[in-house]
Amino acid sequence: MTTFDKVYEAVKQIPEGSVATYGQIAEAIGNKRLSRVVGYALHVNPQPGVIPCHRVVKRDGEVSAAFAFGGANRQAELLKAEGVSFVDELHVDMAAHRVRALPMVL
């Protein structure tokens, strides 16, 4: 089990209609300083379509500018399609959709 695998497992735990921050993912795999690695793990996303990387946003709810599927705007649309509300085009309504506690990945 590599660190990347843990990241993927954690991301897959995010329920539909909710979002998690890179920090939460990092925390779920045992080290909140891995937030940077989390981003890189999704960057090399080995299984697009399986890993809901669009449900991962920055700590302030802003979507990633370098989103691999076509840009931040594309990510925002995917989320809206799941029922996630936005405070503006690039910021998710964290107060309403951020996961309270992400299950720890073994």
Partner DNA sequence: AACCTGACTCGCC
Partner DNA sequence: AGGCGAGCCAGGT
Catalytic positions are: 53
SS3 assignment, position 31: coil
Q: Cite the beta strand spans of the chain per DSSP E.
A: 20-21, 56-57, 86-88, 91-92
- Binding to DNA by residue 53, rule CB under 7 A? yes
- Binding to DNA by residue 31, rule CB under 7 A? yes
Q: How far is CA 10 from CA 32, 38, 54, 55, 75, in A?
A: 13, 10, 13, 11, 19
Asked if residue 59 lies in contact with residue 20, where contact means CB atoms within 8 angstroms, the answer is no
User: Please, what is the minimum distance in Å from the beta carbon of residue 34 to DNA?
Assistant: 5
- Binding to DNA by residue 4, rule CB under 7 A? yes
User: Please, what is the minimum distance in Å from the beta carbon of residue 43 to DNA?
Assistant: 4
When the beta carbons of 50 and 96 are compared against DNA, the nearer one is 50
- Binding to DNA by residue 36, rule CB under 7 A? yes
Q: How big is the CA angle at 101 (ends 97 and 103), to the nearest 5 degrees?
A: 120
Give the interface segment with DNA, choosing from 20-28, 77-85, 86-94, 98-106 (CB under 7 A). 20-28
- Sites of contact with DNA (CB under 7 A): 2-4, 21-23, 26, 31-45, 53, 58-59, 64, 66-69, 75
